[in-house]
Amino acid sequence: MKSVLLITTGGTIASVQGAEGLRPGYSSAELLRFVEGLNAYYRIDTQELLNLDSSNIQVDEWIAIARAIHAALPKYDGVVVTHGTDTMAYTASMVSFMLQGLKKPVVFTGSQMPIDNLLTDARNNLYTAFAAVGCGIPGVTVAFNRRIIPGCRAVKVRSMGFEAFESVNAGDLGRVFADGLRPLCAIPGDPDSPVALRDRVCREVFLLKLVPGINPDVLCMLRRMRYRGIVIEAFGAGGMQFVRTNLLEHLRVLTEAGIAVVVCSQCLYEGSSLGLYEVGQKLLSCGVIPARDMTTEAAVTKLMWALGQTDDARRVAEIFNTSYCGEITPEG
Ligand code: ASP
């Protein structure tokens, strides 16, 4: 029988109706009582780490979650983490970077509806998450709506529907069919390799979504605010205005000052390709780092993580060129 640690952090899955709307209320033991049947298949311990709506999950909570998982890994076959869906993609991406060399399953899950509602998706999502540990699907993943999604590729795409998450620019790692959970990835023979906890992160990272005609002063303001890293969601394959108001000049000042600027796309699918258009090539010549086909969530957390490992902007660019957990599709 596989042993699993269930770490709970709050979210809708554990929520109850309060005077001001839904808020996390159920403890980890109470949560487990809604899926008691699981005890027949897995040896389960629980750890109530946090009880927060995921809008309140920030850098300190990412570190606490990564540390709790890291401490549990030698003792369990895998870890299931329940988490609010709103920022789950950020947490799953960050934890993917923090736990280097991970081969055991670490599965994030949650639900769109509280577990005590008869129509809830919570029970199925929990069963799927435990099945992912049962199958040994490696690394950080998100189990949702009968799919196992790589943690660093997960994006929340719906605020109400049960198909809330998609695996962006990468395939699922497993899916539930009528004959059970089918892994769609290689399962490591020896999942016990050592996992390095790299939990130093830089908090001074900003995400800027361009709008047509954006005032370039915003870039000067970010410099004055001492941000060390900026992710820019540029247009399409990666474009930015240089006619009349020239954003590029302002951007060059930032990169020359040693601020790491990463460019990704506002399009959900297929990522940026800065070499394609004149507007993109001009951006590249300003010293920006292409995020290629990374999700915005992965690009932001990777930049925070990279700047936690090094102060050297060239080293940050090298880190962005390296796929640590499948967050970028290899070129060619
Ligand atoms: N607001 C909730 C949260 O992210 C939404 C959910 O869990 O589905 O904690």
For every one of its 332 residues, what pLDDT tens digit does the chain have, with 9 covering 90 and above? 999 999 999 999 999 999 999 999 999 999 999 999 999 999 999 999 999 999 999 999 999 999 999 999 999 999 999 999 999 999 999 999 999 999 999 999 999 999 999 999 999 999 999 999 999 999 999 999 999 999 999 999 999 999 999 999 999 999 999 999 999 999 998 999 999 999 999 999 999 999 999 999 999 999 999 999 999 999 999 999 999 989 999 999 999 999 999 999 999 999 999 999 999 999 999 999 999 999 999 999 999 999 999 999 899 999 999 999 999 998 87
Instruction: Answer whether 24 contacts ligand 1 (Cβ < 6 A).
Output: no
Ligand 1 nearest-atom number relative to CA 87: 4
Instruction: Answer whether 61 contacts ligand 1 (Cβ < 6 A).
Output: no
Ligand 1 centroid – CA 12 distance (Å):
5
Ligand 1 centroid – CA 15 distance (Å):
9
Instruction: Answer whether 11 contacts ligand 1 (Cβ < 6 A).
Output: yes
Q: Do the domains 2-197 and 205-320 sit in the same CATH topology, yes or no? A: yes
Instruction: Answer whether 84 contacts ligand 1 (Cβ < 6 A).
Output: yes
Ligand 1 nearest-atom number relative to CA 164: 8
Instruction: Answer whether 112 contacts ligand 1 (Cβ < 6 A).
Output: yes
The catalytic residue among 8, 9, 12, 91 is: 12
Produce one character per residue of 233-267: b if its CB has 16 or more CB atoms within 10 Å, e if not: bbbebbbbbeeeeebbebbbebbeeebbbbbbbbe
The tokens of 4 are what? 């699993």
Q: Check: CB of residue 219 under 8 Å from CB of residue 255.
A: no
Q: Which of 248, 263, 241 is nearest to 317 (CA)?
A: 263
Instruction: Answer whether 78 contacts ligand 1 (Cβ < 6 A).
Output: no
Q: Check: CB of residue 272 under 8 Å from CB of residue 319.
A: no
CA distance 137 to 183: 7
Mutation to probe ligand 1, out of 86, 91, 111 (largest number of atoms < 8 A from CB): 86
CA distance 180 to 165: 20
Is 205-320 CATH 3.40.50.40?
Answer: yes
Ligand 1 nearest-atom number relative to CA 53: 9
Instruction: Answer whether 9 contacts ligand 1 (Cβ < 6 A).
Output: no
Ligand 1 centroid – CA 85 distance (Å):
5
Out of 3.40.50.1170, 3.30.420.40, 3.30.70.360, 3.30.300.170, select the CATH number for domain 2-197: 3.40.50.1170
In the annotation, is 12 catalytic? Answer: yes
* pLDDT for residue 184: 98
The secondary structure of 65-120 as a DSSP string is HHHHHHHHGGG-SEEEEE--STTHHHHHHHHHHHEET--SEEEEE--SS-TTSTT-
Query: Full-prediction pTM beyond 0.85?
Result: yes
Which residue, by CA, sits nearest to atom 3 of ligand 1? 84
Ligand 1 centroid – CA 180 distance (Å):
27
* Domain segments of the chain as ranges: 2-197, 205-320
Instruction: Answer whether 114 contacts ligand 1 (Cβ < 6 A).
Output: no
CA distance 168 to 180: 24
Instruction: Answer whether 12 contacts ligand 1 (Cβ < 6 A).
Output: yes
Ligand 1 nearest-atom number relative to CA 11: 9
Which residue, by CA, sits nearest to atom 7 of ligand 1? 84
* pLDDT for residue 303: 98
